[in-house]
Structures are given as C-alpha cells and as structure tokens.
A and B are shown apart, each in its own frame.
Chain A
Amino acid sequence: MNALLAPNDYKSPLKPIWCPGCGDYGVVQALYRALSAVGRPPHEIAFISGIGCSSRIPGYTTAYGFNTVHGRALPIAQGVKLANPDLLVIVAGGDGDGFSIGGGHVPHAIRRNVDLTYLVMDNQVYGLTKGQLSPTSPRGLRTVTSPMGSLEQPINPLLTVLASGAGFVAQATPADMPGMTALIEEAIRYPGFSFVNIQSPCITFGEEEQQLKAHKARMKPLASLGHDPANQLAALDLARAYGTEIYTGVFYRNPSPPPTYDALVRERQAELQRGERRPRARVLDAFLKG
C-alpha cells in the first residue's frame, strides 16, 4: 500500500444515501483500498457514473466525480479519457444504467478499448426508483412492475461483455472484500477496457437469497475450479452460469492486451503533427484561391 495515500484519502465527507446493509458500502471501501494500492492521487482520477443508487459512488470519493445522466456514463467517460489520456478513468453504475438504457453503448466502448475500468453494481433490481424489474432480474421475479412475475429472460452481463471482446472481465461480491479489492485493483491496472460485475445486493428491495449472507454460502472462486483466465472460450462457458452460480474472480484476462484506443489516437496525433503544420490562426488560408 502507498504510504503517501491512505484509503481514507480517497474518502469524501459526503454521507452516502445508501440504506444501511447495502452492498455498495463494501464496494466503496474496496475502491478506497484499491485506489490507495494503485497510488494515483485523487486529482488525477476522473470517476464517471450514470444514475442510480450505485451511481452516487463518485461523490463519496475525493476524485473528480461526474454523476451524469442515466445510461450515458460510458460515452462521457470515453470523452474524458480521450481529452486527457493521462487521467485514470473509472466508470460506475448499476445493472439497469449499464445494460438497459445504457446497453447500446456497451459493445462500442468495449470494441474501442479505451483504457478505463467499468464497475457495475449488479443487484437485479432498480433500487433508486423503488424496486422495479431490471434487465438482470431473473425470470419469474415479482416486483412492483412485474407483480405476477417477470416474463423476460435476464440479460447476462458477463456473456455480453465477454462476447463483445473485453480484455478483462471479472465478477466480485462484497461478501469477499479482500477478493473484491484485489479484483478492482487488477481491473484498474489492466491496460484497456476492464469490467468487474459486482454482485452488490439491495437490502431494501432485493430478495433474501440475494443478500450477502447468501453470497457467502453460494460464491465459488473461479480459481478453485481450476479456470485459466487466459482461456476465453472457457470463460464464455463459465459465464453462462450467471444467474445460477456466483463465480468470483477473473473470467478472462487477455494475455496480450491490444493497444488501447487512446494510445492509438495519441500515436496518430504524433504522426500527423510531425509534418508541416499550419497554425490554427491561419486555418482559412486553405480556402483561398486565385
């Protein structure tokens, strides 16, 4: 751990709105520890989120935070990173923010491979708005908008992200704080788009079998199954069990991470700027004829 920046240096004085018992308290603690381990000072960190209970998280850190609009954190975060690639960019949101309204942005953020870390606090429900169905809710779940049980199959965030080609995909739960802390740190360090699906239960609207006590009993570390994170096919296979099993750990880590979009953009800029360049003030010269 960086002696200069303790975990509490990343903690802001703002009091979380989260209900006591919420899994997100564990997530933010783990984040303070992970950031302390990585050692970037708060002013070099841009923490972008959408809308939802979990999206409040940037305000509870001392980083530059941007609590944006529902579902649009990924595009906004990519703009931040491309504008200043030296920043450490973290994106957070819930399963609805990320895979319902934000779903259209996920495959593109992944295929662009901008260097950022996307943390989704997946609780299979819409907490902020009082308990509606979410895209990861299991079929048959009774909620205020599915009083007779949901008729939809849930989306599988792990499969979706893996199939879109993400280079780092992991799942964690606050029921294993050291494990989750290590995964968040690893995701931040991964050079490229990294994703951690965090099973963070909603104490107020979640089901009994979704709470942390249940996680402690149910969760299975991928390492204990002998899974090799370099094996993408095996990862896809294991990811299919989302909804039935809570596998924790790294599903996939690309052993040869491809260049990030931001690095490629920088390279190209450098190339273009090597040649003769007209200063901005003379931009109109190109249109002069005669």
Chain B
Amino acid sequence: MIEDLVVGLAGSGGDGVVSAGESLLTAASSQGFYALMTKSFGSQIRGGESSCRVRLSTRKVPNPGGVLDVAVALNWEDFRRFGAELPIGPETVLIHEAKAGPPPADLATPGRMPREVVGVPLAELAKASAGTDRAKTTVVLGILSGWFGVPQEALDRGLQKKFAQKGEGLLEANRKALKCGIGFAGEHPLASPRALARPAAASPKMLCDGNEMCAAGAIFSGCEFFGGYPITPSTEVMQILSRELPRHGGVVFQAEDEISGVGAAVGASFAGKKAMTATSGPGMSLKTEVLGLASIAELPLVLLDVQRGGPSTGIPTKPEQADLFQAAFSAHGDVLRPVLAPTSVEDTFRVTVEAFNLAELYQTPVVILSDQEIAQRKETVDPIDVSRLEVLERLRPTPEQLAGGYQRFAPTPSGVSPLSHPGMEGGNYLAAGIEHDVKGAPTASGAIHAAMNEKRFQKLAPLQERADLFERHGPADAPLALVSWGSSAGVAREAFALARARDLPVKLLVPTLLYPVAEPVFRAFFAGVRAGLVLELSHQGQLYRVLRMFVDLPPGVTSFARSGAQPFRADEVVERLAQQAEAFR
C-alpha cells in the first residue's frame, strides 16, 4: 500500500490534460486524500503543450513532489518539452498513447528509463467507448482508478463537474470511457502493483489555490479597497475580489495601469480604508515610487507580489523567488518595509491576514511575496480555525487628541502616531511625499529628517522579536541547518523529514518574515551551526545574500539556489545535506 502518489500528464492543450488532472484532484479530495495539483504550459493561449502534476497522499502534501510515480504521455514531443518538470525514473510507470510508438531512447538519461512502460491504444478505446477519440484522458483516469484504487464514484463526481454543463450526452459518453479505462486496468494489471492506502474518513476540506486564499484573507481582514491591474499570475486576486468585495461594501478599481492601481489604493488608505494591490515583478517595479510615498506618508498598504520568472517580462507562467531584493530594497532613500512570504496555499490566508495587521499597526506598506506555484496550484486544505486570528485596526486619534492641536506625526514611544483621515473633524493634516515635521509641514531640515527616519525605522523594531513568524523544527543544537522560504519551503519540509529519517543532525528554519531580518531569531538559530543550506529559487540566492548583510552566517552555511522554473526535489536536498554532514562525522 502506498501513502503517496505523484501523477504527471502531458499532451497538447486540446487534449484536456489539465481538466483530467482537475477531475482527479476533485475525486481524490472527496475521498479524503490530501492532494495538490500544478499545471505547466507552453506560451500559446490555447493548444500549446500542456501538462499537470497531481500528488495524492494520505498525509498533508508539502510540495508537488519529485520523480513521477506515474507519467502519462499522450505524445512524445509535448512530453519532452517539459523536461525536468516531469522527471521520470526506473520506478515510474510510464503510460503512453500506443500510436505514438515506444519511448524515444533519449527520453531519460541512461539508467533512468522507467522499467514499466505501457502503451495503451487510448484514442481507439475512447472512440469505441465514448464515440470520440477526445475522451482519451477520461480513459486514462479510468486506468489510474483501476490501478491505484481511486474509487469510480469519486471520479464520476469529477466528470460531472466538468461535463454536466456541457451536455448530458457528453457526461454519459465520458462515463463509458471511464468504465472502459477501468476495464483495461483490470485486464492489464501492473507488474509491480501499487494501490493507494485508504485515507482516514473523508472530512470537509477546502480545495483552493494561493490567489484565492489571498483574496479570502483580504476579505477576512476587512479590506475595503483593491486597486490593481491585470498581470499574470496575480490577476485572479482582482477577479475574485471584483465579485466579492462590493458585497462587503468595498470597491475594486481596475486602473489604467499599475501605477494608477497602487495610487488609488494609497488614496483609499489615506481616506481611512484598508487597501491593497496585487501584481507580479514587472508591476512592482512600476509601483516602486508610490510605495515610497506610502512609506514616508506612513500609510498602511498591502501589496501582493506573485513572483514569476524574471527579470523584465521573464517567464510569466513559471515560479521564481527573485523579487526579494526588489521587495526589500527597491525604494530610493532609507525605507524599511516588512516583507512576508507564504509557504503554501494554506499559509497564504494566514500570511495575508498578518500582512494587513502589520500594515495597519505600523502604518506602512507591507509586501506579500508569493510565487506562481503557490498562487496557482490547487491544494486540499484542512479547514482553518479563524477564531484564533486577530484582525487589527490602525491607531486613530482620540476625541481629546482631535480637540487639542492634533499632530499627525507626533513622536510617541513606539514611533507610531495616531492616524486621522478626511472626514474626521480636528484631524486635518497635510500628508506628503516631501519630508515633513510633526505637523506634516514640508521641511528641508537635516535634524528633522534624521528624526523622522529614526521614527519610521524605530516603529518597526518590534518585528525583530517576532519569533512567531518563524517555523522551526529539529533539535535546537543540531549542527546542520536548512533554511528555506516560499514554495521552496515545501520541498525543504519534506527534505527535512527524510533527512531526520536518515538520522542526519539537521534542523529546519522556515521564515515567514523575510525583511526586516529578525537578527535575534536568526542568530539563535545559527548558534552552534557548522554547515547548512539556504534553499531558494533564484540565480543569486537572494535570501542568502540578505541574511549575510545582517547576520554572521557560519561559513559552512551555503546557498543552494538556482533560477526559477526548475523546482527543487526533496531527494536532491537530502543528498546535499548528507554530503555536508559527512564533513563533520
């Protein structure tokens, strides 16, 4: 019995490969499995090469997985285009359209060719059962069901979801195709049989992606204004909010460009409302100046950056983790703004709520660094207990403060000054991008400027103590360290578990708060560490570099980083850790 199964399917856009994956995902979730699905495409709007990975497990799925357990290739050209995204190995069951012929010799590196390769006359079977060869992916679902024990009723529900709206005839035909596939599986059992273990009784789970969780987090937090502009892979957040936010009395403003979008959000924040914008790398570059305005005017704002391949237009549909420098450092002048990074779909909800809280509490823009994988992968998520989540509001002046000479930027012990907004009598002030004194009046005084910079930095000092924004596992005195963030942290968690199972003396740190660098937390973590890895998807290893700016990293802690669109696999991380552990065995 296997606990975990990774299925990869590849074909062309017209084959409905991704829809098949979605049916499998829906079916698995309804059975109580944890599941996670990612998609990958070529650059055509339709009909280019198309693939998906579905990972099912009886336990929570930490990441999309490494080498495929099952690979389905509807044709070899499309399958090959996905290269390392659909890695196969000797244990992979490789199913292919029989008509495509046997796998090309160079499909896998020598010694990595799957041992079990099954050619299935998918098009024929589909034609015979459903009356059209387009139902071939449904036949595949049937085969998977037969071989791995995903119940037929569950898949049926998935088919219903896909075909019910498209005509009763289609649903019926595909049901036949499903049965046909199951029949084929029965007649052609696997040489090395593997059936999925039954999960614990099915309990209600959410099926969603990171963008949905961000939108939900914004609604939960009381966001009342979204200003933004379409950009892959963040647009879904604006789309969801455009339906939902007005129901809660909020406004969604699709602006004429990125700058206008964030500008409107800053205006809404100035007017007293919780506001956000969402974008990807290129949009964040454009928004930089207005973000600086929000920082010096001390206005709350949440900015979601769903990272994609960069620089410039880069690779819009693939994940990368190379916007950390921009998120932390893109402002001109001395600016400190918090940067948070979710590590999973589930995490995105909580991180979004935290981002709004930090923005309101510290009257500052806060950047949420998500990435394309987290934002757009579909995942089953256990229900989130929101009762333990606090929603914080900005500090507003009291009636006494408004009655007697209110000063917008008055010094306070925490550095956070009560924030009024238009409509509040007695709270009138001038907000500005220009440096200003306690009343908001423009100033060119060096002394006042220094004091204001100090205030704007000092108010964020409590973030240094936010150990609750860090996840730590493993023995506190372990000499081997693994640090990771964003979607790579999902791989790190699995690698950590595998490494512990091999008795490697490793501990794991997953920061949600990336910037400011919480020096005490990192120092405590790295105490006694002799070697380790900072795992992330960027050419420069951006977190590794940022940590070295603020923390004395032990010399044995190295960067394990590479450009995006080549996700890490848990096994390669474990290998690196094992090598490092050798050095001090």
Interface residues of A (CB under 8 A from B): 12, 14, 41-46, 48, 51, 56, 58-59, 62-69, 72, 74-84, 86-87, 104-105, 108, 265, 268-269, 272-273, 275, 277, 280-281, 283-284, 286-290
Which residues from 182 to 221 on chain B have a C-beta closer than 8 Å to any C-beta of chain A? 202-208, 212, 216, 219-220
Contact, CB under 8 Å: A44 / B431 = no
Residues of chain B within 8 A (CB-CB) of A83 are 224-225, 251, 267-269, 271-273, 275
Contact, CB under 8 Å: A44 / B422 = yes
| Interface residue stretch chosen among B83-91, B256-264, B334-342, B562-570 | B256-264
The answer for the CA separation of A14 and B427 in the assembled complex, in Å, is 17
Contact, CB under 8 Å: A78 / B271 = no
The answer for the CA separation of A77 and B422 in the assembled complex, in Å, is 12
Residues of chain B within 8 A (CB-CB) of A286 are 216
The answer to whether residues A78 and B424 also contact, given A59-B432, A108-B260 and a CB cut-off of 8 A, is no
Q: Quick one: which of B257, B268, B293, B440 contacts A79, CB cutoff 8 A?
A: B268
Contact, CB under 8 Å: A105 / B272 = no
Contact, CB under 8 Å: A289 / B207 = yes
Interface 1/0s, chain B 451-491, versus A by CB < 8 A? 00000000000000000000000000000000000000000
Please name the residue on chain B nearest to A271 by beta carbon: B246
B422 shortest CB reach to chain A, Å: 4
Residues of chain A within 8 A (CB-CB) of B264 are 75-76, 78-79, 82
* Contacts A/B (CB < 8 Å), 19 sampled: A43-B424, A46-B422, A51-B433, A64-B270, A65-B429, A67-B442, A69-B293, A72-B260, A75-B255, A79-B263, A79-B266, A79-B267, A79-B270, A82-B225, A83-B269, A83-B272, A83-B273, A84-B422, A86-B423
Contact, CB under 8 Å: B220 / A283 = yes
The answer for the CA separation of A118 and B442 in the assembled complex, in Å, is 23
The answer for the CA separation of A56 and B212 in the assembled complex, in Å, is 42
- B349 at interface, CB cutoff 8 A: yes
Residues of chain A within 8 A (CB-CB) of B79 are none
Residues of chain B within 8 A (CB-CB) of A275 are 247
Q: Quick one: which of B208, B247, B442 contacts A272, CB cutoff 8 A?
A: B247
The answer for the CA separation of A67 and B443 in the assembled complex, in Å, is 13
Contact, CB under 8 Å: B431 / A67 = yes
Interface of B is mostly: mixed
The answer to whether residues A290 and B224 also contact, given A43-B426, A44-B423, A76-B266 and a CB cut-off of 8 A, is no
Contact, CB under 8 Å: B263 / A290 = no
Residues of chain A within 8 A (CB-CB) of B222 are 280
- B265 at interface, CB cutoff 8 A: yes
Interface residues of B (CB under 8 A from A): 26, 29-30, 32, 202-208, 212, 216, 219-220, 222, 224-225, 227, 244, 246-251, 253, 255-257, 259-261, 263-273, 275, 289-290, 292-293, 297, 349, 381, 383-384, 386, 420-434, 440-442
Residues of chain B within 8 A (CB-CB) of A44 are 422-423
The answer for the CA separation of A284 and B349 in the assembled complex, in Å, is 9
Q: Quick one: which of B203, B206, B424, B431 contacts A66, CB cutoff 8 A?
A: B431
Residues of chain A within 8 A (CB-CB) of B204 are 288-290
Q: Quick one: which of A62, A69, A105, A287 contacts B289, CB cutoff 8 A?
A: A69
Residues of chain B within 8 A (CB-CB) of A46 are 270-271, 422
Contact, CB under 8 Å: B429 / A64 = yes
Contact, CB under 8 Å: B430 / A59 = yes
Residues of chain A within 8 A (CB-CB) of B256 are 75, 104-105, 108
Contact, CB under 8 Å: B430 / A65 = yes
Residues of chain A within 8 A (CB-CB) of B273 are 83-84
B452 shortest CB reach to chain A, Å: 15
Contact, CB under 8 Å: B259 / A72 = yes
Please name the residue on chain B nearest to A111 by beta carbon: B256
The answer for the CA separation of A12 and B270 in the assembled complex, in Å, is 20
The answer for the CA separation of A59 and B111 in the assembled complex, in Å, is 74
The answer to whether residues A84 and B430 also contact, given A69-B289, A75-B259, A288-B206 and a CB cut-off of 8 A, is no
Please name the residue on chain A nearest to B387 by beta carbon: A281
Of A56, A65, A277, chain B has the most CB atoms within 10 Å of the CB of A65
Q: Quick one: which of B265, B271, B293 contacts A87, CB cutoff 8 A?
A: B271
The answer for the CA separation of A48 and B270 in the assembled complex, in Å, is 11
Contact, CB under 8 Å: A284 / B422 = no
Contact, CB under 8 Å: B29 / A289 = yes
B217 shortest CB reach to chain A, Å: 8
Contact, CB under 8 Å: B212 / A287 = yes
The answer for the CA separation of A280 and B241 in the assembled complex, in Å, is 12
Residues of chain B within 8 A (CB-CB) of A80 are 267-268, 270-271, 422
